[in-house]
Amino acid sequence: MKILRDYSLENYNTFGFPVKAKQFVEVNTEADLKEVLQQVYASEIFLLGGGSNILLTKDLDSTVLFLNLKGKEVTKTSNNEVHVAAAAGENWHEFVNWCLSQGFGGIENLSLIPGNVGTAPIQNIGAYGVELKDVFVSCEALHIQTLKKETFYKKDCQFGYRNSVFKNHLKGQYIITSVKFALTKNNHKLHTGYGAIQNELEVQNIQNPSIQDVAKAVVSIREQKLPNPKEIGNSGSFFKNPIVDKAAFDLLSSKNPAIPFYKITENSYKIPAGWLIDQCGLKGYREGDAGVHKKQALVLVNYGNASGKDILSLSRNIQTQVYKRFEIELEPEVNIIA
Q: Confirm or reject CATH 3.90.78.10 for domain 233-336, answering yes or no.
A: yes
Give pTM, 2 decimals.
0.89
**pLDDT tens over the chain, length 338 residues:** 778 999 999 999 999 999 999 999 999 999 999 999 998 877 789 999 889 999 999 999 999 999 999 999 999 999 999 999 999 999 999 999 999 999 999 999 999 999 999 999 999 999 999 999 999 999 999 999 999 999 999 999 999 999 999 999 999 999 999 999 999 999 999 999 876 899 999 999 999 999 999 999 999 999 988 899 999 999 999 999 999 999 999 999 999 999 999 999 999 999 999 999 999 999 999 999 999 999 999 999 999 999 999 999 999 999 999 999 999 999 999 999 99
Architecture of domain 3-67: 2-Layer Sandwich (3.30)
> Do 146 and 182 touch, CB atoms closer than 8 A?
no
The CATH 3.90.78.10 portion of the chain extends over 233-336
Calculated CA dihedral for residues 284, 263, 119, 93, nearest 10 degrees: -70
Give the pairing type, strands 45-48 and 60-67: parallel
Angle between helices 211-225 and 92-101 (to 10 degrees): 150
Q: Assess whether 254 carries a catalytic annotation.
A: no
CA atoms within 13 A on the CB side of 43: 0
Choose the catalytic residue: 10, 26, 81, 333. Answer: 333
What is the CATH code of the structural domain delimited by 72-225? 3.30.465.10
> Do 95 and 72 touch, CB atoms closer than 8 A?
yes
The CATH 3.30.465.10 portion of the chain extends over 72-225
Cα 273 from Cα 284, distance rounded (Å): 15
Q: Assess whether 333 carries a catalytic annotation.
A: yes
91-115 burial, b at 16+ Cβ within 10 Å, e below that, comes to bbbebbbebbeeebbbbbbbbbbbb
Choose the catalytic residue: 90, 162, 220, 235. Answer: 162
Structure confidence at residue 253 (pLDDT):
96
The CATH 3.30.43.10 portion of the chain extends over 3-67
> Do 141 and 175 touch, CB atoms closer than 8 A?
yes
> Do 118 and 69 touch, CB atoms closer than 8 A?
yes
Choose the catalytic residue: 111, 237, 307, 315. Answer: 237
Per DSSP, the three-state class of 137 is strand
Q: Assess whether 237 carries a catalytic annotation.
A: yes
